[in-house]
Amino acid sequence: MSALKFAWPEGVTLEQLNARSAGTLMETLGIVFTELGDGYLRATMPVDARTHQPYGLLHGGASVVLAETLGSSAGALMAGGNAVVGLEINANHLRAVRSGIVIGTTRPVHIGRSTQVWEIRIEDEAGKPVCISRITLSVLPQPPASGC
């Protein structure tokens, strides 16, 4: 599947993206945005005690957190000042990882006015596929209310 041709909004920086993670689950898990490229956004996540399941392997839920972080962050950049929230996410876990880092890369499948779809590929340090995910986002005119 070929990625859509698009341009990130002007002036967006990795520093801004990483600053938004302060005090969130992304910071807790050590997720760091590393590259804002031509048609993709990339981030890394350590595979350690924070992201392990009881067998000492990368927890599938941690992979989904990385996938949703990438897809939602990319979607928010492309939402033209609107908010995005996840409607659905799926993940196929392909390979176990015990240590090191994993690298996630997201690319758009569909960027519309009311919905977006992003594909996320997570690989180990050797470039072998660990997880393939897809997220569908709803574009909202304003952020959802915080609190209960």
Catalytic residue set: 68
- What is the C-alpha separation between 11 and 28, in angstroms, rounded? 27
Q: What is the DSSP string of 3-54?
A: PPP--PPTT--HHHHHHTTTTSHHHHHT-EEEEEETTEEEEEEEESTTTB-T
Best CA proximity match to 56, nearest among 22, 100, 26, 20: 100
Residue 2, token pair as written in the block: 């070929």
